[in-house]
Structure 1
Amino acid sequence: MTNAHDIVIRPIITEKSMAGIPNMRYTFAVAKDANKIEIAKAVESVFDVKVAKVNTINVRGKMRRQGRFEGYTPSWKKAIVTLKKNSKPISFFEGMF
């Protein structure tokens, strides 16, 4: 079994993801092989919160060019985690407002 910090890689901080914070929705980049149950348990253990549901998205790599050379950026997995109403908010994101 993998460590919780290996599943939750980093938070996603964009305008769209920050708009979900008042509704207790937080966005993270997660390990590609992690499923929704593993993501929920990892977020609960790392941030000490209660997770209501998890939505996952597989993000394909984009094509990039550097002069005449071209290739793809790596693909990755994004998870949108919704917390329960009686759960406390994640303090890391609260400092962003």
Structure 2
Amino acid sequence: MAAIKYYDVILKPVVTEKSMNAMGEKKYTFLVHPEANKAQIKEAVEKMFEGTKVKSVNTMNMDGKKKRRGMTVGKTAKTKKAIVALTEESKDIEIFEGL
């Protein structure tokens, strides 16, 4: 498979009550490419958001949920979630401003 570029790593931010509370501790949650590793996620955050410095990255693979529509049973797609902690002197990420 082709190499993953930094702009393909971060898919979208996760906006939940728990992730919004973690923003006070400079921890941001993103859905990321399933094949991205921690080093690629760190590079992508630092390149996409000016002035940010990543302290640590925690990742988790989420299995698809079972869904049923009538008698048909299926599963949603697997996803990968990353929690990115920024350093104290780092700037905040602007896409979360005003939420």
What is the match of residue 27 of structure 1?
Answer: 29
How far apart are residue 79 of structure 1 and its match? 0.1
Could you tell me how far apart the structure 2 residues matched to 1:11 and 1:5 are?
A: 14
Aligned match of 1:87 in 67, 86, 90? 90
How far apart are residue 2 of structure 1 and its match? 2.4
Q: Within 5 A, what are the aligned runs for 1:40-51?
A: 40-48=42-50, 49-51=52-54
Could you tell me how far apart the structure 1 residues matched to 2:7 and 2:65 are?
A: 26
Mapped pair 1:59 → 2:65: no
- Provide TM-score, normalisation by structure 2: 0.94
State the number of aligned residues.
96
Q: Contact (CA 8 Å) 2:41, 2:57: kept in 1 or not?
A: yes
* Residues 29-82 of structure 1: CA deviation (Å, up to 9, x unaligned): 000100000000001101121000000010000100000001000001000000
Alignment RMSD (CA, Å): 0.8
What is the match of residue 74 of structure 1?
Answer: 77
How far apart are residue 5 of structure 1 and its match? 2.0
What is the match of residue 15 of structure 2?
Answer: 13
2:35 alignment partner, SS class: coil
Unaligned 5+ residue runs, structure 2?
none
Q: Where has structure 1 moved over 4 Å in runs of 4 or more?
A: none
1:22 alignment partner, SS class: helix
How far apart are residue 4 of structure 1 and its match? 1.7
